[in-house]
Amino acid sequence: MNLDAQVEQLVCTDNKQAYKILKELLKISEKCNDEYPYFDKFVEMMNDRTKSYIRTRGLRLIAYNAKWDIENKVNNIIDEWLKHIEDEKPITARQCIKDVVMIAKYKPELIDVILEALENMRKYMMIVCRI
């Protein structure tokens, strides 16, 4: 299956198949920038309002492609990306928090923004947990 077809399969209804493809694409993105041209598609997926699985796939692929981001696309959407550390679905939020390290590693200029978002989340959680 070519890369175009794989990226299209990330939003299919067969979650097992989509997850399998996600794993393959994450491995590829560690080695080369072949997926970077699909960055805007990953942003669309990140913003999917219907399925958290699709949001998670988009978030992860954005983080993994930060390494190849010569156009500073991650910088342009970082606030949007970081909103998902408070995603309504805990698994999506957890994965976002986990993958933020990849963005920080390859985009050190975003570390302060990332830390501020995580600190705000920590403060929020402290308030919620006291209720």
Question: For 101-110, what is each residue's pLDDT tens digit?
Answer: 999 999 999 9
pLDDT category at 131 given cuts 50, 70, 90 is low
3-state secondary structure of 117: helix
Question: For 57-103, what is each residue's pLDDT tens digit?
Answer: 999 999 999 999 999 999 999 999 999 999 999 999 999 999 999 99
Its pTM surpasses 0.85: yes
Report the alpha-carbon distance of residue 124 to residue 116 in Å, rounded: 12
Identify the DSSP state of 47. Answer: T
- pLDDT for 128 beyond 70: no
Q: What is the DSSP string of 15-30?
A: HHHHHHHHHHHHHHHH
Q: Rg of the chain's alpha carbons, rounded to an integer?
A: 15
Q: Which domains does the chain have, with CATH numbers?
A: 3-130 (1.25.10.10)
